[in-house]
Amino acid sequence: MKKIGLVIRDKKGAALIVTYMVVAILLAFGGFVVEVSNTQNSAANNFKKQAQALNIAEAGTDRALIWLRSQSSPPIGSISSITQSVPSTGTALGSYTVTLTDLGSPGSDNSVRRYRIESTGSVGTAAQKITNYVQTDNYARYIWFTNSESYGGTNVWFWDYDYLNGPTHTNGHFNIKGSPVFEGEVRSADDYIRYYNNGNNINSSELSNSPYDTPDFQDTVTLGAESVTMPSQALNLRTASTASGGLRLTGDTTIVLNSNGTMTVTNSAKGWRNYTTALPSNGALFVNKGILKISGTLSGRLTVGASKDIYITGNILYADNPRQEGSTSTDILGIISEADVVIDDAAPYNLEIDASVMALNTSFLLENYWTGGAKGTLSVFGGIIQKQRGPVGTFSGTTKVSGYSKNYDYDSRLLSSPPPFLPTTGDYVTLSWEN
């Protein structure tokens, strides 16, 4: 009996020791779990604060853009920093500090200016910084811009053989026949697109449901976008043409651009007949009370304008082709008519125009576009901005009857380095963004 009693007591002692060990392990594990949980909570809280700080920094950049838009003209020189708690009333979650830096102009035109917006958002010890580089928005950044996609009340259509590879905008609605290609962003102030073959107005939820017309939208399509008001005069260019380095001519004028950086000008008021002269040094040329005829090869930065129609009589090319691999070309051309920009009836079968073209009142079009049979291809390297969409040809079914087929190729340099003295939209566009 004694031996049995000793065995029982030994087992109880061993069990007690095991129990203590288990309890110690559980306590240690529990402490570890609490420590891990606290660490995770701290990390989650820090991540939350970092995300909040980033949102506040974005609010700071928005505030800076609102301030820029409220100025009567793009500010020049030193700009004060902006510090703001968020929200401005009640208990603030955090704050932002924004610094605006004027980076100057990409050319001789002070109406086009660049800014660096540095916004730092803070929540407690968490901080996030956003750097946004912006520039005054310029119509030249569009490959295609219209106030209306009709001419004299008649719809003008994009059709099978049309190709655009840059940003487009209309204050009306686009008219689509067949399978045109839109490689860039598409924006329309109206909330529908007009389709030719089934006569329907297609809204954004039905873009892929047309059984007959199948446009190839390769980027975003925004219907119901904000309208952008077009100017009626080239005020910046008019002013610059009378300033030092500009050139103002009166009456009908013919200009042939030369690849050596000069131009050959005929203007009776000046007594110039095939007179060769340098380009205006500030890049501004305006013809008042007369039409302008232009063709040739440009070497330099230039914007030409006229109070009446501008006629394109032949190819307009850049001397240093920016489309060649490795090119560092700075050749850039703006063409602004306060009336129409007209492709002359006698222009070549295949025609190339390297420029950002603006027709403020009313259209870019082919002279006698409905006659003369089918021509070749109209190639535009740059962009076309016009109040009413002008026709450059006609079609029947899938057959071109008269005028040009279109190949519009976007010059991406126009976003960051537009031609001098083109009208600006009053807004700002982002060139790059860093976090």
Rounded to an integer, the average pLDDT of 28-37 is: 58
Cα dihedral sign for 280, 282, 285, 288?
negative
Confidence of residue 124 (pLDDT cuts 50, 70, 90): confident
Angle at 278 between CA 274 and CA 281, to 5 degrees: 140
Q: Residue 27 pLDDT more than 80?
A: no
Q: What is the CA radius of gyration of the chain?
A: 32
Lowest mean pLDDT among 140-154, 351-365, 366-380, 421-435: 421-435
Span of 18-32, 38-52, 101-115, 228-242 with lowest mean pLDDT: 18-32
What residues are paired with 387 via a beta bridge?
none
Flag whether pLDDT at 325 surpasses 90. no
Pairing of strands 163-164, 186-188: unpaired
For residue 243 the two structure tokens come to 């300033």
Q: Which residue type does 234 have?
A: A
The CA-CA-CA angle for residues 240, 258, 390, to 5°, reads 65
pLDDT tens for 356-386 read: 999 999 999 999 999 999 999 999 999 999 9
Q: What is the spatial distance between Cα 79 and Cα 167, in angstroms, rounded to a whole number?
A: 32
Strand ranges in 40-93 using DSSP code E only, listed in sequence order: 82-86
Q: At 82, is the secondary structure helix, strand, or coil? A: strand
H/E element, 172: none
- pTM of the entire predicted model: 0.82
Residues 6+ positions from 147 with CB-CB distance below 8 Å: 170, 171, 172, 230, 386, 387, 388
pLDDT class for 5, splitting at 50, 70, 90? Answer: very low
Q: Which residue has the higher pLDDT, 245 or 83?
A: 245
Question: What is the helix, strand, coil percentage profile of the chain, to 5?
Answer: 20, 40, 40
Interstrand relation of 272-278 and 262-267 (parallel, antiparallel or unpaired) = antiparallel
Q: Where are the domains of the chain?
A: 1-138, 140-424
35 vs 425: CA distance, rounded Å: 57
Distance CA 360, CA 427 (A): 19
Q: Which two tokens stand for residue 226?
A: 């904000």
What's residue 83's pLDDT?
78
Task: For strands 168-170 and 144-148, give the pairing.
Answer: parallel
List C-alpha distances in Å: 77 to 120, 199, 427: 22, 54, 19
- 87 preceded by cis ω (within 30°)? yes
Question: In 202-347, which residue ranges form alpha helices assigned H by DSSP?
Answer: 235-241
Q: pLDDT digit string (tens) for 155-190? A: 999 988 888 999 999 999 999 988 899 999 999 999
Half-sphere exposure of 168 (CA within 13 A, CB side): 28
* Residue 86 clears pLDDT 80, i.e. is over it: no
CB-side neighbour CA atoms (13 Å) of 27: 6
The tokens describing 28, both together, are 């240690």
Q: Is the pLDDT of residue 35 over 50?
A: yes
* Greater pLDDT, 350 or 87: 350
Q: Say if residue 206's pLDDT is above 50.
A: yes
Q: What is the dihedral of CA 244, 358, 384, 203, to 10 degrees?
A: 130
**Residue 221: pLDDT band by 50, 70, 90 thresholds?**
very high
d(CA 251, CA 10): 121
Extract the runs of DSSP E, i.e. beta strands, from 81-188: 82-86, 94-104, 114-123, 126-138, 144-148, 150-151, 154-155, 163-164, 168-170, 175-176, 181-182, 186-188
